[in-house]
Amino acid sequence: MDYKNKIAEAVAAAVETETPENLAQWIEIPPDRAMGDYAFPCFKLARILRKAPPVIAADLAARVRPEGFSRVEAVGGYLNFFVEKGGFAAGVLSRILSEGERYGSSDRGQGRVVCIDYSSINIAKRFHIGHLSTTMIGNALYKIYTFCGYRCVGINHLGDWGTQFGKMIAGFLRWGSREQVEKDGVDELVRLYVMADKDPDMQEEGRAWFKKIEEGDAQAMEIFRWFKEITLRDAERVYAKLGVRFDSYAGESFYNDKMGRVIDELKAKNLLVESNGAQVVMLDEYGLPPALILKADGATLYVTRDLAAALYRRDTYHFDKCLYVVAYQQDMHFRQLFKVLELMGYEWAATDLEHVSFGMVSYEGETLSTRRGHVVYLDDLLDRSVEKARAIIEEKSPDLENKDAVAASVGIGSVVFFTLLNSRIKDIDFWWDRALNFDGETGPYTQYTHARCCSVLRKADLPLEGETDWSALSDEEAQSVITELARFGEVVSDALERNEPSIVTRFTVGLAQKYNAYYFAHRILDGAPEQSRARLILTEAVRTVLKTGLSLIGVDAPERM
């Protein structure tokens, strides 16, 4: 039963001035369950009905009796609703058992496409912790949108364009060897680039090789593509550990032959203006600096390639929405990008493009800086996390089977969970003792609760099918868990609407806390079989929803820990 809609329909029938859809948006869940399971704020109707909220609440309390509720009370300006506890438990838990891991999903995105631009690593550079937020936020959004029926296109917009690649080729041809690059991978490419960049005699040679890349020279392109293969091979190891995938690796270089259309359209619409020899689009009337499209030497820029990418994605995928999961420092860039597209006549740019920004990442109190040498590579971070998780498991559960697999799930899961725990716009300071804590608002705590549910279900010699005494779940702790389970669909929907995976992450922690409070307050297998069955069904529902919630943020749910 959809309790909010039942309330909204009953109130709408009584007041006859608002639709159930409008009223449903105003319904709240009281902070204290003693005040009711749901509350309707009558302040919202005061202006319409021209009565004081307490008067409206008292009047409605006498007339509104929605199905599934044991009583309705007026308290101040609120109308408080108390669900019939046994029916509430039966309705929510039976639905979860029936729908399984599809519970909370929807078909709202059926027939619609969303492109998600995330991770966007640079060629010939190792994958560092600074890429963690974009990678995991994008991965979670991909899963959440898919769960809600959308067809997702995950795009890794590679940073694979610029004179540095010409210098890298020049350095490789002078000092490198294929054997050494194959052996040391990206580290060797970085070494060759640094040598070439520091050598004054190599600057012109580097520019010449990049020009050959621009012109499609066979030798230059063969080496350039090989460098990309080396980088992606290195990155794929990290992506495999994180469980992250992409549908496209079309990066900056992919759009080299697609920018002519952008330049031609800007010229045809008289949007290009010369400024000190360069070509720009003036955006001052929109409170934005000029968007630099072409340098004085005719070279294109980042925004030019992003314009070409947006048009290509629209034409190719016919997206209903395109998300750019990029740090907040690029906010101005995306405001310029979207406005230029809008001025070009593409109305969808104002409604279908969104910059999903996020905060900075630091490591144990120190800001990451490549120049200062304070860089934490992501594969090293994940490996250390797995090692630390393995040591904790060895100490706490020495007889556990599959320790290595569980350590990988817990170690990597702790990093992902920590990254997605708070609002994405907040800065993240990664600390081991916080991320791997089994007692706080962490991945290991939530994963352990899932494993606890699995343990309870394994020990029970009682099938879930059969006569069930739902009144066994009338206590405060059980009702608190069921209320949390009932709102999972709304949680997923809210996370999608706001492009905010932390809403799901926070939900899993809250559900784990409520179930653990129930677990310690009640003996699940005591009493008559009908009562034990009700408690086991509650446990199975928590297990199912915890696993689904964790999967939506890219975290494993081990069955034993």
Would you say residue 241 lies in a domain? yes
Q: Which residues of 199-212 are buried (b: 16+ CB within 10 A; e: fewer)?
A: beebeebbeebbeb
Residue 362 has pLDDT above 50, yes or no: yes
SS3 label, residue 108 = coil
Would you say residue 445 lies in a domain? no
192 and 272, same structural domain? yes
Contact 381, 448 (CB under 8 A): no
Contact 474, 483 (CB under 8 A): no
Would you say residue 497 lies in a domain? no
pLDDT of residue 374: 56
135 and 260, same structural domain? yes
Rounded to the nearest 5°, which phi and psi values hold at 318? 50, 50
Contact 182, 175 (CB under 8 A): no
77 and 32, same structural domain? yes
131 and 15, same structural domain? no
pLDDT of residue 367: 65
Residue 405 CB neighbour total at 10 angstroms? 12
Q: What is the mean pLDDT of the chain?
A: 92
CA nearest neighbour of 132 among 455, 424, 387, 453: 424
- Can you give the residue range of the structural domain that contains 125? 113-356
SS3 label, residue 140 = helix
H helix runs in 321-425, sequence order: 331-343, 348-352, 378-396, 403-419
**What percent of the chain shows pLDDT beyond 90?**
75
Contact 333, 364 (CB under 8 A): no
Residue 247 CB neighbour total at 10 angstroms? 15
Would you say residue 422 lies in a domain? no
User: Using alpha carbons only, what angle is made at residue 451 by residues 463 and 492, rounded to the nearest 5 degrees?
Assistant: 90
Q: Which residues of 505-535 are buried (b: 16+ CB within 10 A; e: fewer)?
A: bbbbbbbbbbbbebbeebebeeeeeebbbbb
Q: Please state the three-class secondary structure of 199-220 as a single string.
A: CHHHHHHHHHHHHHHHHCCHHH
Would you say residue 187 lies in a domain? yes
Last residue in a domain, options 356, 385, 416: 356
Residue 130 CB neighbour total at 10 angstroms? 17
* Whole-number Å distance between alpha carbons of 97 and 92: 9
Q: What is the pLDDT of residues 12-33, one digit of tens each?
A: 999 988 899 999 999 998 988 8
Residue 149 has pLDDT above 60, yes or no: yes
Contact 103, 544 (CB under 8 A): yes
282 and 191, same structural domain? yes
Contact 43, 32 (CB under 8 A): no
The tokens for 556 are 């494993």
157 and 69, same structural domain? no
Q: In what order do the strands lie in the sheet with 428-430?
A: 366-367, 361-363, 428-430
Arithmetic mean of pLDDT, 46-63? 94
153 and 13, same structural domain? no
pTM of the predicted model as reported, rounded to 2 decimal places: 0.91
Residues in CB range of 28: below 8 A, 6 or more apart:
38, 39, 40, 41
For residue 29, what is the domain's CATH number?
3.30.1360.70
285 and 183, same structural domain? yes
pLDDT of residue 372: 46
Residue 440 has pLDDT above 90, yes or no: no
Total domains in the chain come to: 2
Query: Where in the sequence numbering do the catalytic residues fall?
Result: 125, 128, 131
Arithmetic mean of pLDDT, 227-248? 93
Residue 211 has pLDDT above 90, yes or no: no
326 and 191, same structural domain? yes
Last residue in a domain, options 330, 356, 382: 356
Last residue in a domain, options 43, 63, 83: 83
SS3 label, residue 437 = coil
Would you say residue 482 lies in a domain? no
258 and 197, same structural domain? yes
Residue 435 has pLDDT above 70, yes or no: yes
77 and 160, same structural domain? no
Distances in Å between the alpha carbon of 228 and those of 249, 296, 384, 464?
A: 11, 29, 27, 53
147 and 293, same structural domain? yes
Rounded to the nearest 5°, which phi and psi values hold at 113? -120, 135
pLDDT of residue 296: 84
The tokens for 139 are 């991965």
Distance of CA 475 to the CA centre of its chain: 35
Q: Is 162 exposed, middle or buried (0-12, 13-18, 19+ CB in 10 A)?
A: middle
Would you say residue 117 lies in a domain? yes
Residues in CB range of 33: below 8 A, 6 or more apart:
476, 479, 480, 483
Q: What is the pLDDT of residues 447-497, one digit of tens each?
A: 999 999 999 999 998 999 999 999 999 999 999 999 999 999 999 999 999
For residue 194, what is the domain's CATH number?
3.40.50.620
Q: What is the pLDDT of residues 491-520, one digit of tens each?
A: 999 999 999 999 999 999 999 999 999 999
Residue 187 has pLDDT above 50, yes or no: yes
pLDDT of residue 370: 47
Q: Is 543 exposed, middle or buried (0-12, 13-18, 19+ CB in 10 A)?
A: buried
Would you say residue 394 lies in a domain? no
Arithmetic mean of pLDDT, 92-118? 97
Provide the residue type at 381 as one letter.
Answer: L
